Structure 1
Amino acid sequence: MAFDEDLADRVRELVAHESGFAERRMFGGVAMLLGGNMAVVVRGKGGLMVRVDSAAAESLRSEPGVEATVMRGRPLRGWLTVDASACATDAALEEWVDRGVTFTRGLPPK
């Protein structure tokens, strides 16, 4: 399954102005990076992967359409998978992208 180009364009609009922005194809989708660190990924399976503070991840998982990101059978600490339905509106998408960008801005550049 190819990633959702429309969703990728919407995410790009929200992050392209950020300092150190780059994008790279990975995980069957496209990752949006800031300073070499992934902030948000438009997944090949649909929806997003969003990087968040590990301490906040548990409470955010209680939101509809949100779950821990699992790769190779293991949860990825500090990452959430957000179903396409949970980021369908512009406001919801902006909120999720902002979470990823805000957390990633605090990381040292690679």
Structure 2
Amino acid sequence: MALDPGLLELMRDDLADLPGIHEKKMFGGVCFLLDGHMVCGIGGKGLMYRVGKAAYAEALALPAVHELGFTGRPMGGMVEVALEDAEDAPRARLMALSLAHARGLPPKRPKG
């Protein structure tokens, strides 16, 4: 399934003014990283957010948010929202949780 260009632009807009954000093709989609740590992404089936284990229960309590499990088992600290359920309010809260998680991690050193 192809990426939804409208949702990709929404995600880019959500992160546009933040320093340290980089876009990278991953997981068959596009991910956004802050200082080398994944914050969120978009794939063919929906949006994914790395909220971390501390905010995992809060994120799952939001409407239309589910465990991320494209590997066949849940990936702790990561959640997803189906494309058709990507409403502004839950998306904004998930982005805030994901950014807070990434900001709490030490910056990664560049490879090479």
TM > 0.5 between the two? yes
CA distance in 2, matches of 1:50, 1:64: 14
Q: Which residue in 1 is equivalent to 2:95?
A: 97
CA distance in 2, matches of 1:99, 1:16: 17
Partner amino acid, structure 2, of 1:48:
L
Q: Which residue in 2 is equivalent to 1:24?
A: 24
Q: Which residue in 2 is equivalent to 1:62?
A: 61
Partner amino acid, structure 2, of 1:21:
I
Work out whether residues 49 and 94 of structure 2, in 8 Å CA contact, stay in contact via their aligned partners in 1.
yes
Partner amino acid, structure 1, of 2:96:
D
Name whichever structure is richer in strand by fraction. 1
Q: Which residue in 1 is equivalent to 2:5?
A: 5
Identity %: 37
Q: Residues 67-82 of structure 1 correspond to what in structure 2 (within 5 A)? A: 67-82=66-81
Q: Which runs of 5+ in 1 are unaligned?
A: none
CA distance in 2, matches of 1:62, 1:107: 24
CA distance in 1, matches of 2:29, 2:49: 13
SS state at 1:76 partner: coil
Q: Which runs of 5+ in 2 are unaligned?
A: none
Work out whether residues 23 and 32 of structure 2, in 8 Å CA contact, stay in contact via their aligned partners in 1.
yes
